[in-house]
Amino acid sequence: MERVGDAVVFRGRIEAASAARFQELLREPAVTRVVITSQGGLVAPALDMAQALFERGLDVEVPQACLSSCANYVFPAGRRKRLGHARAVGWHGNMTHVLHLHQSGRERWSEPEMQEARLLARREQAFFRRIGVDGFVCWFGKIAPHDVEEFYALTPQDMARFGIAGVVVDPGPSGPGAPELLSVDAGKIESLRPAVAVDTP
């Protein structure tokens, strides 16, 4: 991680130490944008980064890849968003999705793990409400009828259906292993959304 001109350039995994350094750099008044390349990382530090970015009203640029927790929280927190190619941002679930998997019996975790998951799910839902984004964007592609096995990406038009606005995509190549590009049927999104309880086992 480094400061380059008016940008904080972040490359690598999101963890407590990297998130703390990120927030420290963001406090510098001359910083106006974040350039991030990350496969994701820990949820709580990613939420910390996203909160700081949103409060500063900074732009986000993703030249190569922003996946998992980076896609869930850091990317949508940006004011304006620029992608190096059409499949630079990839989702594969969030903490609300974890609760759904547990409650539906598709996967099981221990009660201590679920207590932490519920705490993080409440925090992420509060964050999404604050930034005006529908958190279902993070996991709708993992359930029927899509059932994407790995990561999925969306066009700027489909991102906007979930409240993620201000996205510009450069016409660059995506390279091998980029997320699958989904198409959203806006009329069916609500019928696909499972009810998820965040306060009960």
Instruction: Identify the helix (H) or strand (E) that includes residue 59.
Output: strand 59-62
pLDDT digits (tens, 9 = 90+) for 160-193: 999 999 999 998 888 888 999 999 988 888 899 9
Instruction: Identify the helix (H) or strand (E) that includes residue 119.
Output: helix 111-131
Where exactly are the structural domains of the chain?
2-192
pLDDT digits (tens, 9 = 90+) for 55-82: 999 999 999 999 999 999 999 999 999 9
Rounded to two decimals, what is the model's pTM? Answer: 0.95
Q: Could you tell me which of 104, 114, 178, 116 has the C-alpha nearest to residue 148?
A: 178
Cα separation, 152 vs 143, whole angstroms: 12
pLDDT digits (tens, 9 = 90+) for 140-164: 999 999 999 999 999 999 999 999 9
Q: Which fold has domain 2-192?
A: 2-enoyl-CoA Hydratase; Chain A, domain 1 (3.90.226)
Query: According to the model, what pLDDT value does residue 126 have?
Result: 98
Cα separation, 172 vs 151, whole angstroms: 19
pLDDT digits (tens, 9 = 90+) for 43-61: 999 999 999 999 999 999 9
Across 78-100, average pLDDT: 97
Q: Is the pLDDT of residue 200 over 80?
A: no
